[in-house]
Structure 1
Amino acid sequence: RGGLPVFCEKPLAPDLNRTLAALREVTASGGLLQVGFMRRFDSGYGTARGLVRSGALGRLHTVRTMTADPAPPAAAYLATSGGLYRDCLVHDFDMVRWVTGREVVEVYAAGSDAGGALFRETGDIDTAAAVLTLDDGTLVTATGSRCNGAGYDVRMELAGELDQVSVGLDDRTPIASTEPHGPPPASKPWTGFLERFAPAYEAELAAFVQLVRGEEPNRCDGREALAAFRIAEACELSRRERRRVRLEELPDLPAV
C-alpha cells in the first residue's frame, strides 16, 4: 500500500485463503512483489530447464523430486511451519512447474509420522510421498523427509524418451552406491539448505535489485508462488482425506 517494492520469502501467508487475500492487495495497489523461491536461481535447475525446453530429452514421461533434511527442526518450528508439504516440498512443486513448463492437474499424497513423537504432537509428518499428474500426462513423484541422517539431499530427475538428467547429483550428494564400481560416499555431504543453495540466495536478491531498477523482469511473482502453494495445499488435503485431489477443487485468483 505504501508503494514500496517487496521481496517476501515463502510462504506469503500460512494458508491458501490468506495467500489469496495478500495477492489481491498486491494487485489492487499495483505493487511490485518477488517471492523467494531460490531454486529458480540455482544453476543446476536452470540447466535442466533449458534441456527440457529445447527438446533435448524428448517427451518427458517421468519426473522425480526429493527434498530430505538431515534432522528435524525444533518442535516449536514444526507447530507453525504449515506441515511438510507447505514448508518443504513446496520448493519441489515450484521446480516441477518451472522446469517442465507444465501445470499440475491432480495429486495423490501420503505421509508418515512414524519418526519422533514431536511430529505426532504437532500434527505433522516426517516423511511424505506424492504422485502428481501434469496437464500433458507426465507423471511426477515427489518425496520428502525430515530424518535423512546421511545429510541434506535435494535432487530432481527428468526422464525423457531421448535422454535423462539429474539435478543435485555431485560429490557432496549424501548417497552411497552398493555397486562394486559405483561412486564412493560423499566425504563432505551437504549440511543444509543455506549451504547447498547459498549462490542461489545471492542471485535471487541480485535479481530483485535489478527488478526494482527496471532492468529485469520478475522471476517469481505472487501468482507463481500461489501456483506452488496450491499444489502443496492439494497434497495436504489428499493426505488427510486419503483421496485424489484435482487442483480445480481449490480456490484461485481469476486468470489475467
Structure 2
Amino acid sequence: MSFDPFGDFETAGYLQNVLRLKDPSEVKESEHLSFELSMEDALDYLSKKASIDFESVRKVHEILFSDFYPWAGKDRSELVPHLAVFKGSQDDPRHTVFEHPLSIKRSVDYALELASNKKRFKDRPGDVMGQLAFAHPFLDGNGRTILLVFMELCYRAKFAIEWSRTNKDDYLRALSLEIGDPFKGYLNDYLKPFVVEIAHRDEWPEMIGGIKGLDGLDKEDISYESLSNPEVQHIYNTYRAQLLD
C-alpha cells in the first residue's frame, strides 16, 4: 500500500489513520468496520435532506469514516490541491485519470444535475454514477460514499439498482470504461438490466451489507503525481479535449 500523498506513511500510517495502521489488510478491515458502524447514520442523514448537494456528499463521507480518518469529509481540493490522482500506471494506456482536484465540486454538481432529471436518470443511471466516480472527491472511501448517495438519488427518482445481481469485476470494468470515455453508454448498458422498482429504505442496510467489492476503485493501484508535471498537464488537456469532441 504505497499511496502516501501526505508523505508521512512511516509515522502516521496509511493516510494518517487514527490507529496509524500500515498493513493493507488491517487498514481495509478497520476502515470497513467504520463504514458498517456508521452506514445507517449516513443513510438517515441523506433521507432527511431536502436536496442533495456537494456538501451532502462531504458530510456522508465524514459520517462514514471520521472514526478512522481524521480528515474525513474533506475533499482532495482541500487536502492535496497540488496532486493528480490516477488508477494504474500512467504509462499504461488503460489507466484511469480522476478529476482535477480544483474541479471536483463542479463534477459532483454536474452529476447531481443529471440526477435531477428523473426520467433521464432512470434511463441513463450510468451517466450519473460514472460522473460521481470520475470526481473521486476523497483520498479514500469514494466508492462506498458514492454508493450511498447514488442509492438515495435513485430512490428519489423512484427506482433502484439490484446490486446483489451485479458482478464486481464486470461492474468495475464498465465503470473504468465510463470514466475513460464518458457518456458513451458503457455503464448504462451494464446497469440497465438491474434497474428495478423502488426499494424500501428499511431494506438498504442489509442490501448494502451483501454487496461484495462495490467499494469502487479506492485501493486498486492508486497513484498520484504533481500537477506541475508537464506530462500530467498534458493528460488533463487531452482528456478535456476528448470531452469536447
Quick check: TM above 0.5? no
Q: Which has the higher strand share?
A: 1
Structure with larger Rg: 1
Q: TM-score, normalised by structure 1?
A: 0.22
User: Higher helix share goes to which structure?
Assistant: 2
* Larger RCO, structures 1/2 (Cα 8 Å, 6+ apart): 1
